[in-house]
Amino acid sequence: MNLSKLRKIIRVIVIAIPIFALVWIVNKNFVFSGHMEVEYNFDKTSPFISVLKPAGRALEVERGEDGDYFQKIIIDPVYFDLYMPTEFNKVKLIFVYEAPVGREVKVGPQVFGPGWNYNLEELTCGERYNNWCVSELDFDLNESFLNNKKINFMISSPGLDKSGEEIKITKIRAELTK
């Protein structure tokens, strides 16, 4: 291979890398496919799903004997934010959690502007995954309050603090659709 062919190949590679990077970044921000899936496993922070807050109601992230990371909720309500790089119409939230039998746990997005307006739906243990309950909830985001590309979600379990019980969450997955 002569030197001029090698220079042409290198030039093509040097030009192609920034183009591919730009296409990847634009696609991540505009989600041309119309579908985006994000997940928070509590082992490291996520750019799309925040930690449970406020501290004190939601305890520090722990690692169980089985190796799964989780966060305990001891006082309700707690909150998390879902960051969306572009607008979406629907979200399917999948929670992998553990709650005492008979304990009502509801989750939902903030709706109709700021304040205490949340569209809460109950988590029900549909199937099991490594002794954790799995529950799926579908929400229409057209009525949700979007603040700086984030939607605030509430997790509520009334009377949790008085009962001395706790709820553990090990995974939150969001499947967003335009």
Same domain, 55 and 8: no
Same domain, 118 and 90: yes
Domain of residue 64 covers: 35-177
Same domain, 144 and 66: yes
* Cα 51 to Cα 60: distance, rounded to the nearest angstrom: 10
Q: Compute the Cα dihedral for 50, 54, 57, 60 and give only its sign.
A: positive
Same domain, 147 and 134: yes
State the DSSP code for 142: G
174 Cβ contact list (under 8 Å, min separation 6): 37, 38, 39, 48, 49, 82, 91, 92, 93, 94
pLDDT at 28 (0 to 100): 59
Same domain, 96 and 149: yes
Whether the Cβ atoms of residue 106 and residue 96 lie closer than 8 Å to each other:
no
Total structural domains within the chain: 2
Same domain, 145 and 65: yes
Same domain, 81 and 168: yes
Same domain, 16 and 55: no
Render the burial of 144-167: b for 16+ CB within 10 Å, e for the rest.
bbeeeebbbbbbbbeebeeeeebb
Same domain, 71 and 48: yes
pLDDT at 160 (0 to 100): 92
Same domain, 9 and 50: no
Same domain, 58 and 135: yes
pLDDT at 74 (0 to 100): 95
Same domain, 110 and 159: yes
CATH number of domain containing 71: 2.60.120.260
**Residue written as token pair 């696609």:** 27
State the DSSP code for 145: -
pLDDT tens string for the chain (178 positions)? 677 888 888 888 888 788 777 766 665 556 556 678 889 999 988 999 999 999 999 999 999 888 899 999 999 999 999 998 878 889 999 999 999 988 999 999 999 766 678 999 999 987 877 789 999 999 998 888 878 889 999 999 999 989 989 999 999 999 988 8
Q: How far is CA 42 from CA 10, 73, 86, 117, in A?
A: 42, 13, 24, 27
Whether the Cβ atoms of residue 79 and residue 155 lie closer than 8 Å to each other:
yes
